Amino acid sequence: MSQPSASAVHVDGVDWRESKKKPKDATKTAAGRSLEPLDGERSKTPFAYEGNVLGMLREDQVPRFFGTLTNSDKLETQTLKLADLTAMQNRVDTAKVNAIAGNGAAGGKLPVVVKINGRLWIADGHHRLTAAWLNGDEEAEVRFKDLEPETNVMKAEIVKADDEQRMAYGWASVISEGGKPVIDTQGDVIDASELVKSTTEFMADARVAKAMHEGGQVGEVLHSFPLTAELAKSLGISSDREGWIVGVKVHDDGIWKRVKSGELRAFSIGGSGTRIPMTE
Whole-number mean pLDDT of the chain? Answer: 79
Give me the percent of the chain exceeding a pLDDT of 90. 35
Nearest CA-CA partner of 172 in 206, 138, 141: 206
Confidence of residue 148 (pLDDT cuts 50, 70, 90): confident
26-30, 95-99, 230-234: range with lowest mean pLDDT: 26-30
SS3 annotation, 130-143: HHHHHCCCCEEEEE
Whether 98 shows a pLDDT value over 70: the answer reads: yes
Question: What letters, b where the CB count within 10 A reaches 16 and e where it falls short, cover 15-40?
Answer: eeeeeeeeeeeeeebeeeeebebeee
Q: Which of 19-23, 207-211, 215-219 has the lowest mean pLDDT?
A: 19-23
Question: Which pLDDT band, with edges at 50, 70 and 90, does 6 fall under?
Answer: very low
Q: In the chain, what percentage of residues exceed pLDDT 70?
A: 73
136 has pLDDT over 90? yes
Pairing of strands 85-87, 139-146: unpaired
Go through the domains of the chain in sequence order and give each one's CATH number.
Answer: 31-146 (3.90.1530.10), 158-261 (no CATH)
- Mean pLDDT in residue range 90-94: 95
> Are the beta carbons of 103 and 134 closer than 8 angstroms?
no
- Residue 202: the pLDDT is 80
What number is the average pLDDT over the span 248-266? Answer: 83
For residue 5, name the pLDDT band (cuts at 50, 70, 90): very low
Summarize the confidence of residues 69-85 as an average pLDDT: 92
> Which of 85-89, 130-134, 256-260 bottoms out in mean pLDDT, i.e. has the lowest?
256-260
